[in-house]
Amino acid sequence: MNYRFKNFINSASANKQAFDNSIESVRSSLDNMVSTSSAPVVPSPAKTGWLKGSLSYPWVIVCSLVPSLKDMF
């Protein structure tokens, strides 16, 4: 094989090894950070059991139905 080709292959292998080492370093660093720090617990929003969106509030339904029922009778 040509010397330049061998040098190119060796350089690519060295770069790949350096990249793999840096990825492992970042991975272990993130694992350490995640395992040592505790995330704050955020309470979930209260669910009303009604429809999603603007109809999730009972007063919206009452305020929209009562006037329409009043007009009907």
CA torsion through residues 22, 24, 27, 28, sign:
negative
pLDDT in 10s for each residue of the chain, 73 residues:
688 888 989 999 999 999 999 999 999 998 888 777 666 777 777 666 666 666 566 777 777 788 887 777 7
Task: Quickly count: other Cβ atoms within 10 Å of residue 61's Cβ.
Answer: 14
- For residue 43, tell me if it sits in a domain: no
Range of the domain at 57: 3-38+49-72
Question: How far, in Å, CA of 16 to CA of 23, rounded?
Answer: 10
Residue with tokens 């929003």: 45
- For residue 20, tell me if it sits in a domain: yes
* pTM check: above 0.75: no
- For residue 7, tell me if it sits in a domain: yes
Whole-angstrom CA distances from 70 to 38, 61, 65, 66, 67 are 55, 14, 8, 6, 5
In the chain, how many domains are there? 1
